[in-house]
Copies of this chain bind each other. A is one copy, B any other.
């Protein structure tokens, strides 16, 4: 049976939403068990009696907090993240899930579990909503300065993830640039364009708005730009919401309108709610690693666990290795 190593202490709101998500996941899927790493005294009362046989608690007292430096993670050997990563490294668990310090999870996964052969740098991938499907974007924060080879690997890893985990048969891949023409781009993306031309499904350059119109399935960029893109998208959505609210207050008629449109706004919220997507996979390490949002609620945590299960049950990492090494030859 598949076993998930769960960092039960990481996250902005302590273990309660994490165990809530775990319980939801156990209820909906009978085919996995969990090693929950954390403070036994805090965890035990949160676990419902009926799931106790599927949850093994690995006691520890240290937690890497959001204020700690990621570079210290390797020294914090008694922390919940470190111990959960070691369980995967030692083959005692199949995948790692954490809502804790994302930099620490990345460092630990990369350095302790290790990179897939042929991968220079792991990348964080995330799903962005479009009207009728989602777009996978990577890297969204693991790597700030990237060369063309890194971007090439991100493209291959993203494509394999879209195929093996998202179930898209022939994913279309785009390179994020400042124009669609081949001549557009900065020095790094122009070089990456040439390296990717022979990748089946590579559609060339795409622009920022293409992330949201569904023209491709996978969008590749460096982690600096990926972070700015993500925060820009959040900022715009947030501002539109605020402008609507501000203008609403000006008239009773508008308020009535908003009440009648409640379902529409709810549908919109569902579309842009990260909890629907769960966490972000760190692609390129030897075992599935899912990095959940620090503010994850129960639903987000359960979805992050399902993502880890889906990745662990697929041939994701074998296919990443094969595709990267085949394409580089």
Q: Chain B residues near A268: list those with CB within 8 A.
A: 240, 243-244, 247
A residues 197-252 near B (Cβ < 8 Å) are: 207-213, 221-225, 227-240, 242-244, 246-248, 250-251
Copy number in the complex reads 2
A126 CB → nearest B CB, Å: 14
Q: Is A26 an interface residue (CB 8 A)?
A: no
Q: Chain B residues near A261: list those with CB within 8 A.
A: 248, 254, 257-258, 261
* Cβ-defined contact, B186 with A145, below 8 A: yes
* Cβ-defined contact, A235 with B210, below 8 A: yes
Q: Is A264 an interface residue (CB 8 A)?
A: yes
Using C-beta atoms within 8 Å of the partner chain, give the interface range for chain A: 35 or more
Max chain B C-beta neighbours (<10 A), residue from A178, A230, A251, A268: A178
Q: Residues on A close to B: CB < 8 A?
A: 129-131, 141, 144-145, 176-179, 185-187, 189, 207-213, 221-225, 227-240, 242-244, 246-248, 250-251, 253-254, 256-265, 267-268, 271-272
A99 CB → nearest B CB, Å: 19
* Cβ-defined contact, A264 with B271, below 8 A: no
Pick the residue among B185, B236, B254, B264 that contacts A236 (CB under 8 A): B236
Q: Chain B residues near A267: list those with CB within 8 A.
A: 243, 247
Q: Chain B residues near A253: list those with CB within 8 A.
A: 260, 263
